[in-house]
Amino acid sequence: MTKTAYTGPLEHIGCCCHRIPTSYKAGMRVPGHIYANDTLLEQLRKDQAPEQVANVATLPGIQIASIAMPDIHWGYGFCIGGVCATDPAEGGVVSPGGVGYDINCGVRFVKTNLFLDDVKHRMRELVRELFETVPSGAGRTGKYKFDAVDTRRLMGEGPKFVIGRGLGVERDLDHTEANGFIDGGDPEQVSDHAVKRGAEQCGTLGSGNHFMEVQVVDSVYDADVARAFGLELNQVCVMIHSGSRGLGYQVCDDALATFRNCPQKYGFELPDRQLACAPADSPEGRKYIAQMRAAANYGFCNRQLLMQQAREVFSSVFGRSWEDLGMEQLYDVAHNIAKLEEHTVEGKKKKVWVHRKGATRAFPAGHPEVPEAFRAVGQPVIIPGDMGRASWVLVGAPGAMEKTFGTTCHGAGRAMSRTAAKLDAAGRRIDRELEHKGVIAMASSRHGLAEEQPKAYKNVDDVVSTVHDADLSRRVARMRPLGVIKG
């Protein structure tokens, strides 16, 4: 499909929510719901991503609506920022395109007891040592090597396996979504090729929009929740964004090849072959779920090892142990995943497959899957922005359970394609522009910085304002970048 401006209907139906009616496209089983404020709505119409929202609405077993977050942009099959829930009791499907190639791409946020005055004169040294220590870039391998047996153990046990080797502490798990382990993964179902790709990549950033960033809290919006999260003004933190690397990519690729003929086999039609899917309770569906869960556990391991390397670098630069520096994990959230969850649908509780592709959980206070440490206030929600502006910590809100299957945005969302961003950056030094803004940036290539320049992204403040106003998640604290490493 050619990506042109979207010219279809977008009916305003409530605070920051716009509907694509089922009459728009033949085969739509439910409407599309897109969350965007007025500023983002203008950008949205220039993208073809709303068409993908309508396409997802044709999936068998889909419930209530095909949903998109305000960071919506074009993706493979599903838009980035896409959410849908399917009921397996009604023939509901699982779709690799609704999870994404980078299974369990997500964000980990690490606090410190350092403040801006402690680090501002050492940022160049700190960023350089992070860049030289933490492997970044396409295809890069790291210092942690696992044979095939241990790589499958990573998928079967999650971060508990590497913590058992001294690479972290048990309390890290208490502050990780699902305690860093998704039950039901079967590493033996994952292809040897995928295992080989992942064997030397655990503990590496990768390329594209993945990063490790040193940040400072520059605004606190909810003092009570910030206190519960252990955040305060001028505090230095570290944000890590990566996923399951080549292993997850291969799992997705393998599944798409398997699913290619499933629509014909199970008697349904799709408007886009990139939506390839199978009933969740079919042999193909069950196999993919087992593979995806295993790859997700690997993704949690990857971020665990990335965090541990960050801890080691801070310890080296500041001459104190990471424990003494207070480098404790606030939370780790997945934003490319499908999970079987209980939700209320038209007054009835159902177990549904919630696909979140470039979207993240935002469970409110009291939800049983919110870690005990935060259950009184709600789940921490980690929202990265671009290298030049800001990132956010939010907290899950009740409206998410009512409107979006407990989901909110996952980041700023691209405003320009990578190709367009590189063309726009031609002849410019993005690193120098960032340094002029007070941000030290290091990357494996100039192309990487050009593709990820701040202008390539929507303003994350607009995205966060939308989900805050829609009661999907509430603002807690805003961080601005001090230094970043990228692939």
Domain annotation covers residue 100: no
**Amino acid making up residue 157:** E
The string of pLDDT tens digits covering residues 342-383 is 999 999 999 999 999 999 999 999 999 999 999 999 999 999
Q: Residue length, the chain?
A: 487
Domain annotation covers residue 137: yes
Query: Cα–Cα distance between 64 and 50 in angstroms, integer?
Result: 17
Please give the average per-residue pLDDT across 182-196, as a whole number. Answer: 98
Query: Cα–Cα distance between 204 and 189 in angstroms, integer?
Result: 24
Label residue 3 by pLDDT band (50, 70, 90): low
**Amino acid making up residue 467:** V
CA distance from start to end of the chain = 29
pLDDT value of residue 138: 81
Is residue 171 over pLDDT 90?
A: yes
Domain annotation covers residue 1: no
Please give the average per-residue pLDDT across 147-164, as a whole number. Answer: 97
Domain annotation covers residue 63: yes
9 exposure class (CB count in 10 Å sphere: 0-12, 13-18, 19+): middle
Question: Which of 311, 327, 312 has the alpha carbon at shortest distance from 110?
Answer: 327
φ/ψ of 189, rounded to 5, equals: -85, -15
Residue 70 near residue 35, CB atoms below 8 Å: yes
The token pair that represents 362 in the structure block: 């935002």
Q: What percent of the chain has pLDDT over 90?
A: 95
Q: What CATH number corresponds to the domain at position 270?
A: 3.90.1860.10
Label residue 323 by pLDDT band (50, 70, 90): very high
pLDDT value of residue 1: 46
The token pair that represents 346 in the structure block: 């038209």
pTM score = 0.97
Q: What percent of the chain has pLDDT over 70?
A: 99
| Per-residue exposure over 291-310, b if at least 16 CB sit within 10 Å of its own CB, e if not | bbbbbbbbbbbbbbbbbbbb
Domain annotation covers residue 15: yes
Query: Cα–Cα distance between 125 and 438 in angstroms, integer?
Result: 14
Domain annotation covers residue 92: no
The string of pLDDT tens digits covering residues 271-305 is 999 999 999 999 999 999 999 999 999 999 999 99
Q: Chain-wide mean pLDDT for the chain?
A: 96
Label residue 83 by pLDDT band (50, 70, 90): very high
Residue 65 near residue 33, CB atoms below 8 Å: yes
pLDDT value of residue 443: 93
Query: Cα–Cα distance between 106 and 332 in angstroms, integer?
Result: 7
**Amino acid making up residue 482:** L
Domain that holds residue 43: 11-87+105-486
Active site residue 33: no
φ/ψ of 214, rounded to 5, equals: -90, 130
Question: Which of 300, 196, 333, 176 has the alpha carbon at shortest distance from 251?
Answer: 196
Query: Cα–Cα distance between 424 and 456 in angstroms, integer?
Result: 9
Beta pairing class for 32-35 and 66-73: parallel
pLDDT value of residue 141: 84
Domain annotation covers residue 285: yes
Catalytic residue (one of 367, 410, 436, 468): 410
Is residue 17 over pLDDT 50?
A: yes
The string of pLDDT tens digits covering residues 35-54 is 999 999 989 988 999 999 99
Q: How many domains does the chain have?
A: 1
Q: Which helix (H) or strand (E) holds 421?
A: helix 418-424
Please give the average per-residue pLDDT across 133-161, as a whole number. Answer: 93
- Alpha-carbon distances, residue 51 vs 2, 34, 364 (angstroms): 11, 11, 31
Please give the average per-residue pLDDT across 405-419, as a whole number. Answer: 96
The token pair that represents 328 in the structure block: 């404790």
The string of pLDDT tens digits covering residues 418-454 is 999 999 999 999 999 999 999 999 998 888 899 999 9
The token pair that represents 68 in the structure block: 């998109």
Domain annotation covers residue 280: yes
Query: Cα–Cα distance between 296 and 159 in angstroms, integer?
Result: 11
- Alpha-carbon distances, residue 351 vs 47, 87, 280 (angstroms): 33, 7, 12
